[in-house]
Amino acid sequence: MTRHLLTGHVLHFAGNPFTGPWQDAVRIAENSALLIENGQIAAIGEDARTAAGPEAVHHDYGGHLILPGFIDAHAHYPQTAMIASWGKRLIDWLNTYTFPEEIRLSDPDYATRIASRYLDLVLDHGTTSVASFCTIHPHSAEALFEAGAARGMAIVAGKTCMDRNAPDALCDTAQSAYDDSKALLTRWHGKGRAVYAITPRFSPTSTPEQLHALGALWAEHPEALMQTHLSEQVDEIAWVRDLFPQARDYLDTYEATGLLGARGLYGHSIHLEPREIDRLREVGAGVVHCPTSNTFIGSGLFDLMGLARAGQGVGLATDTGGGSSFSMLRTMAAAYEVAQLRGEAVHAAQLLWLATAGSAAVLHRGNEIGSLAPGMAADICVLDLASTPAIAQRAAEAEDIWEAVFPTIMMGDDRAVSATWVNGLPLRGGN
Ligand code: GUN
Ligand code: ZN
């Protein structure tokens, strides 16, 4: 099998830059190297040059930054074609734009087309793994897993489950949600690079019976992940209180039904009560920050620094199509801006860690993706740090490498992605 030697500036992680000094946790080795063999990273730095031998194919990325492929820890691929829909807040936005588009995926051919379109767009943006909601149709999950397998991508996905407060065409039942999710889980979990996530959309669209059924399924298959939404908008939280009068808080609607656990992913988690914050951390659950969505739909300012410093696992995500971009660069920029509105400055090193290793950790795939080290999958993004005249003129003034990287985080888009490697192959920009 061909070996590939990539040269450029290489991003390294030695720890979590939120729980200790970022300087100890994240480093950029300038003019370094990385060797790929059999789809994995075989060596880094001088070891890579030595081990490459004369037959390795050399990809010289010059002054570009070589980093782990971005990991989008919460997205809705079925919403690809309705991203950037104007003027609504969460519940209205779901009813006006989202549900009608998700009904279109009842056509398996359309679902297949959208799954391919979506993954091609994320690869253009340097994203190599996603955790995505699908629609209620089992074939929508099949479509994404198939499209991911065709590209060699590590995909997390699950059939979305809803049995109330949604159009009839998008409702399953407690029993069919259990049966269909179980069949998909059995077929896809661990097949190639696929991981199954049991996916109740959110408490307002599931009866307690459905939540219990999915909690029972998770107990039978604790190896699966579970993904849902939590405390995104104030109106939504009030609705949950009406629908679940017995619950202590929003998280309790999941906790009481077997849907709180370490392998659980709770998207948004903006307006949390102290008890919810404690419980999420105690069980080791992951929360997912969706900053472009939280500003676009007007949801609120997630407490990234407070939660991450306290040891809460946090991933980063676009939340396509509530989020307004497929780009994890744009998403990091929004995370920076939201933290500024809360009076905190997130360092570029912390943002890059969050979009890669941080997301990998909440997906429980940190031993495979999210960092560049021998034995990890060769899922790689290469960033041109001077991709537009505006970015280039700013980067030219930089006094150190971090000052050169930050303008690309704040101002970059898919033009900054000079290559995307998946499973050891250059799907974009092999040069
Ligand atoms: N809450 C329930 N469903 C959704 C969704 O599709 N997008 C977002 N942003 N929030 C949700
Ligand atoms: Zn979402």
Q: What is the pLDDT of residues 89-140, one digit of tens each?
A: 999 999 999 999 999 999 999 999 999 999 999 999 999 999 999 999 999 9
Distance 345 CA to ligand 2 centre (A): 25
Distance 38 CA to ligand 2 centre (A): 35
Cα→Cα distances 420→44, 59, 68, 158, 429, Å: 18, 12, 9, 25, 7
- 137 in contact with ligand 1, CB cutoff 6 A: no
CATH fold for the domain made of 70-362: TIM Barrel (3.20.20)
Q: How many CB atoms lie within 10 A of CB 86?
A: 8
Residues 334, 130: Cα–Cα separation, whole Å: 19
pLDDT at 45: 96
Decide if pLDDT at 431 tops 90.
Answer: no
76, 230, 296, best to mutate for ligand 1 pocket (most atoms within 8 Å of CB): 76
Helix/strand/coil (H/E/C) assignment for every residue in 128-157:
EEEEEECCCCHHHHHHHHHHHHHHCCEEEE
Nearest-CA residue for atom 8 of ligand 1: 322
Decide if pLDDT at 430 tops 90.
Answer: no
Decide if pLDDT at 238 tops 90.
Answer: yes
CATH fold for the domain made of 4-68+371-428: Urease, subunit C; domain 1 (2.30.40)
Q: Where are the domains of the chain?
A: 4-68+371-428, 70-362
Decide if pLDDT at 418 tops 90.
Answer: yes
pLDDT at 359: 99
